Structure 1
């Protein structure tokens, strides 16, 4: 089945990506190519010297000392020098390959870091990891296994054909019949293998994604007794991967080496038959036959090498397509504005409209004015649009209509760096680096120890850190295992405050902490009141009683707003109902305790 034009364009893009590294250092590539030519010349010289030795010395029974010594010495010299030159060419191609993979992997990872948040709504972590690691590693094969071998073997074929033509042009034409047949086999192999190879690489990514997902969610899998279901899912993908790989190997086994070996036997029989005719005519030389048989063995081996390396080429092109496809994903607009730093933190949201999918609005006509230093809370049931509002304020997504202004300037007028320095974000699930406490607060911003310590004190974490043996240099391990859940949340608060933001966004920062830690967080927020503009998405309504204004969202609509006392006066208000329900649940829990 023919592939569509988009697939062919993608192949062209992948080839341009791969070949750009081949010609990145043209002088070096040309020097390596010359090494291949010279090494081939020495390699082809051997059978020619053998022919001279047989026809000029052995057949006539004439053995002059110095000519024979010269022929033998020249033969040994050709073998040694040819071997050394082949080693040099292999090392140079390997160096080119490793440099290419190093740069491609760096480019892909940097590009992934620059992708908009909307991309990660659907991307699977394991598949991205597979593209950055496995696929870029497969690209190396096109330089080491394919380019090096194919170039050297093509040059070797040309050298052998020239040597054959010098010996006997008619015999050379018989051997030449192999070339169009091999090209046809390669074409047929590509037609059968491309779909299978593409599918196998996709399934390998699915295997990585399934393993990554299962390991990260191991606690939930074991708690819900889903081990058998996950095993069945993994076995299904693994079996499909096995089937596709088996198909690829079967196609290669039929169309590559066995087919070439069969054809080479036919050509060998033709040469022996043709040489026999020359013997009858009395014009044949034994040395020519020996050299021809030697060259024929060397002639078929490069053809086998080229066809076998072509399977690696096919895999590298498929891997290149996947990497190229990822590189074509549009980056987030990080240079959208040239405005200065956020000075005050005043926010204005007018007629804001946003939807992830057409005709399914998540936020509908939101209008809010927030003074600098104010404490605003956003509440509502699940799916009301609370976290989406914070994502828009962080410029992770672009609204379909409406405007968000900071200090009377549009969000798009600020540069990416200005927004990230001026807005601090505290997510519900803390992200902890497997590094020291200092590194986790600093986050590569090159902050001074005083700034880091000040932020830790604001988050009421300094005393806990100083109680540890290594203080701020304490290694936390993966996921911050040396800290409690509450202390991790305090660490994230310290990270956000370390940059001295003018606006602080908290996405249910106390949802997963105990009552004692909740009070610590509340105390930290109270001290920041009037110093930083705070917008808090809250699940526990008791934590936002002191907010200057509370915004109540319902299915994307702003249905109520006011402070706690004002909203509690609304007889059938949504906020009042939610607050009273939580208070009753708390009383029941206390009574049962």
Structure 2
């Protein structure tokens, strides 16, 4: 929470100061009203002086107008500061997330990131607003009310003041217990968001496999856990306000008894008792506001801690001093080893070298490490051992923005955004219309784009749900080709294409991207049959490397895959 106040609210201190002035003035005006009323009842009315009654009535009216106007101004300023500060927090959090390494994202998890960007920043927003609204007004009304009651009748005021230590103890004990509860609640919400995200994304699979009842049971379980944790947390924090009411109501009973006795004895006056009852209502409302602030503060503290943990993360993918060597190859992978959990290797001792314009085909069973190898080439993860060089430069020494400009990539489960086809291909990379049209043509997408004259300007739905599997893959291929990359990575990008379209695409690549180094991950031997090099992976290890004919003679696993597909080749 310290970072929120010392870093993100600091630029708004001057605006908050003006808000404090307006809120303070408005609250003081509200405090004056009962005092003036008591004075009128006890001192002005007995004199039967109408002009003085009118005078003090006008004074009360002016105080009321100033109080309402200043409080409205202060509340509007508080809302503006809260919105502006939260916007900056959300921006910095999103920016930090964008620069996190894949390892860091794996540890935090995507649902947790979504929860921090939404629920947690909302809790901070509510806290900033309430601190400025109630956090200024409530202490003024509470302390001011007590001070005024002391000036009215010290004996009666002592009765209420005696309840204050009890209330402070209650607030402190409950707050200490509730903060961890709200932190645990947010973690459960993260898992809730993850389940909902998975089920919504996979709704068609769930229906197709008749898994609706199973997923409903999973949802009901996590939903019940969220409800139970929220009930416990809110039940705990909800004790504060009733406890405050009990304490103050007990004080009020004592005040009425003591006050009635004072009136009978002639030591007190009716106007003071009436004013005292009004101030009691003010103090009660202030205490309720304080309890509300503590509830908001508790949730915001847990949320601020979660946000700060992300903001405090240091960049894992640092850029060390340049590591460069002379080489005849454009892309070199030297004996790399990598493990996600840093225990069992997912890739071990992988090596290959490609010249400009050469093609590498990668094939292997599911889980062999094909996609992992591609992630290491783009430095989405750092290798544990070995090195990767592009044009003689170690990828670790290349700034990530510059490194990724070398690549055009189609991942296995890539994303289509809710935008036009041109926007999905261009991705704000300042590509010309000619470059976009060429990419559409090269990817074999021109035919279905031209089926409707305005189709390319029509927004696609999320994940390209209004496109067929083959159409989506051709859009993704066009995106990868549009910027004329030095290295083209195709991760099983032709699985939804028919053989004719796949063959036509390979022909276009050979004709128009002769200087582009190509890496193709494929399940079909036909897609990599004519590659300059073929890498066969099994359980993270290279069990074969060479051309098709060489592997047919020397690699049993490759020969078995090829033979099983001969009827398709």
TM (normalized to structure 2)? 0.93
- Distance in structure 2 (CA, Å) of the matches to 1:25 and 1:127: 29
- Partners of 1:345 and 1:502 within 8 A in 2: no
- Distance in structure 1 (CA, Å) of the matches to 2:176 and 2:322: 51
Q: Among residues 549, 558, 567, which one is paired with 1:575 in the alignment?
A: 558
Deviations 1:278-321 (A, max 9, x none): 44654323322222222122112211221133212212222222
- Partners of 1:116 and 1:331 within 8 A in 2: yes
Of stretches 172-181 and 440-449 in structure 1, the one that deviates more from structure 2 is 172-181
CA RMSD between the two structures: 2.5
2:36 alignment counterpart: 49
Deviations 1:191-238 (A, max 9, x none): 332333233333333332222211110111112211111111111122
2:229 alignment counterpart: 244
1:423 alignment counterpart: 407
Answering whether residue 413 of structure 2 is matched by residue 448 of structure 1, we say no
Q: Among residues 416, 432, 436, which one is paired with 2:416 in the alignment?
A: 432
1:11 alignment counterpart: none
Deviations 1:121-171 (A, max 9, x none): 465544432221122112222122344212211011222223223323343
- Partners of 1:51 and 1:287 within 8 A in 2: yes
SS at match of 2:360: strand
SS at match of 2:520: strand
Structure 2 unaligned runs (5+)? none
- Partners of 1:468 and 1:474 within 8 A in 2: no
- Partners of 1:373 and 1:534 within 8 A in 2: yes
Deviations 1:385-423 (A, max 9, x none): 222111111111111111111111111222222212111
- Distance in structure 2 (CA, Å) of the matches to 1:67 and 1:144: 41
Answering whether residue 302 of structure 2 is matched by residue 357 of structure 1, we say no
Answering whether residue 25 of structure 2 is matched by residue 38 of structure 1, we say yes
Q: How does 1:302-451 map to 2 (within 5 A)?
A: 302-331=286-315, 333=317, 346-451=330-435
- Distance in structure 1 (CA, Å) of the matches to 2:448 and 2:241: 68
2:86 alignment counterpart: 101
Change (3 A) 1:573 1:117: same
- Partners of 1:384 and 1:553 within 8 A in 2: yes
1:191 alignment counterpart: 176
Of stretches 440-449 and 133-142 in structure 1, the one that deviates more from structure 2 is 133-142
1:468 alignment counterpart: 452
SS at match of 2:565: helix
1:135 alignment counterpart: 120
- Distance in structure 2 (CA, Å) of the matches to 1:546 and 1:101: 55
- Distance in structure 1 (CA, Å) of the matches to 2:462 and 2:60: 62
1:65 alignment counterpart: 50
Deviations 1:310-359 (A, max 9, x none): 2122122222222223333444637667899xx99801121212122234
Deviation at 1:485, TM superposition (A): 1.8
Answering whether residue 219 of structure 2 is matched by residue 234 of structure 1, we say yes
Change (3 A) 1:514 1:334: farther
2:68 alignment counterpart: 83
Of stretches 484-493 and 190-199 in structure 1, the one that deviates more from structure 2 is 190-199
Deviations 1:11-37 (A, max 9, x none): xxx342256433332211111111121
2:522 alignment counterpart: 538
- Partners of 1:426 and 1:492 within 8 A in 2: yes
Q: Among residues 256, 268, 273, which one is paired with 1:289 in the alignment?
A: 273
SS at match of 1:361: coil
- Partners of 1:504 and 1:532 within 8 A in 2: yes
Q: What is the number of residues matched between the two proteins?
A: 567
SS at match of 2:494: coil
Deviation at 1:482, TM superposition (A): 4.0
- Distance in structure 1 (CA, Å) of the matches to 2:343 and 2:106: 19
Change (3 A) 1:335 1:367: closer
